[in-house]
Structure 1
Amino acid sequence: MTEEREFGEAVRAGTPTWLIMAIVLLGALSGISFGLAWSASNQARQAQEVLGTEIRTVKEGFAKDSGALQQRLAKTEEVNTGLQGELSLVTKRLRITQGELKKARQEAAQAREENAKQIAAMDSSIKGELATKASAEEVKAVSSEVTVVRGDLDTTRKDFQMARSELGTLIARNHDEIDQLRRLGEREYIEFSVQGKGKPQKVGNITVELRGTNPKNHQFTLALVVADLRVEKRNRTINEPIFFYTQGARQPLELVINQVSKNKVLGYLSIPKINQTTSGN
Structure 2
Amino acid sequence: METINGTKTNNDAAPRTTNWAVWAGGLALGGMLFTNALLFHKSSRLEDELSRLRSATNAELGIIRESSTQSAENARKSIEDLASQLTETQTAAQKAAASAAQQSRVNADRAARRAEELVSSLAEQSKARHTETIEALGVIKQATDANAAKVGEVASEVGGVRTEVATTKSALDATIADLKSVRGDLGVQSGLIATNAKELAALRELGERNYHEFAITRQAGPAKVGGIVLTLKKADVKRNKFSFEVIADDKRVEKKDKTINEPVQFYVNGSRTPYEIVVNSVSKDKIAGYLATPKIMTARR
State the TM-score bracket (shorter-chain normalisation).
0.3 to 0.5
TM-score by length of 1: 0.43
TM-score by length of 2: 0.41
Greater Rg by CA: 2
